[in-house]
Structure 1
Amino acid sequence: MTRKKADRDARLSRLIGLRVSESFYKRLKEWLANSNCRSITELTRSILYREEIVWKHTDASLESTAIELAGIRKELNAIGKNINQITHHFHTTDSAREKFYDVQRIDKEYKQVSAKVERLLTIAGELSKKWLQ
């Protein structure tokens, strides 16, 4: 399937050479890093055409929260794997003493999960207060 040819008026067929100062070029590079444009050429074309440029903004205060949430997610995954292994051992063993020991270990793991869930709820509450101001 071939691509449809672009309209003659819409094609970028004319070249315009443009010289700028080093300071302005650095400013363009900074704008490029925070915009949705892929190249300086695309950025300058958008400025010339007065097209809408989407600026990307990250909230530095949320970085530590995101790192903490990622850590909690990793810990919860590890706890879940531990519970699955203990449950598998529980179902494969015939000894009542080993089953009792497995139940105690699972109880300990679930207590860790509840502590992590409480921390998640605290973080979610803080985030909702921040975003609903």
Structure 2
Amino acid sequence: MPRRKGKPDTVLQNEIKTRVNDKRYEKLTDILNKSRYHSMSELVRDILENKPIKVLVHDDSLEQYMEVLVFIQKELRSIGININQITRHFNSSPTESQKMFHAMKVGEQFQQVGLRVDQLLSIVKEIAKKWLQK
């Protein structure tokens, strides 16, 4: 089945050839590698049309925060599993004293959650200082 023809005003029919020096080519290649563009032609077309060029930047300073955040995420997940298990035991306990024991255990787990949330808030505060500078 043949390909549909595009609208006459959107079809790229005219070819423009140009040359640039090595320095400019390296700069364009660097922008191309850091952006969402798949070809140099796409990039140059947007530059010619004065469209904004978005360059993706990787900040290595966030790596340390990411490791801590992943660790906290794992800890919170395991605390959640513990709370679910304690709740199951609480619901199956026949006596009030056993229920009180399980309720105390859940309280301890929620204290751990509070500590991890405090850690998260301090990390978010540090990240906000870096990213929300004026």
* TM-score, scaled to structure 2: 0.71
- Flag the 1:4–1:91 CA change in 2: closer, same or farther, 3 A: farther
Please list, as runs of the form range in 1=range in 2, the aligned pairs for 1:72-111 lying within 5 A after superposition.
Answer: 72-111=72-111
User: CA separation in 2, counterparts of 1:119 and 1:54?
Assistant: 33
Structure 2 residue ranges without an equivalent (≥5): none
- Flag the 1:10–1:61 CA change in 2: closer, same or farther, 3 A: same
User: CA separation in 1, counterparts of 2:133 and 2:25?
Assistant: 38
Query: What is the CA RMSD across the aligned residues, in angstroms?
Result: 3.1
Which residue identity does 1:45 align to in structure 2?
R
User: CA separation in 2, counterparts of 1:51 and 1:121?
Assistant: 38
User: CA separation in 2, counterparts of 1:87 and 1:42?
Assistant: 57
Please list, as runs of the form range in 1=range in 2, the aligned pairs for 1:12-27 lying within 5 A after superposition.
Answer: 12-16=12-16, 27=27
User: CA separation in 1, counterparts of 2:129 and 2:18?
Assistant: 48
User: CA separation in 2, counterparts of 1:50 and 1:71?
Assistant: 44
SS at match of 2:89: helix
Contact 1:36 1:53 in 2 (8 A): no
* TM-score, scaled to structure 1: 0.71
User: CA separation in 1, counterparts of 2:84 and 2:112?
Assistant: 15
Structure 1 residue ranges without an equivalent (≥5): none
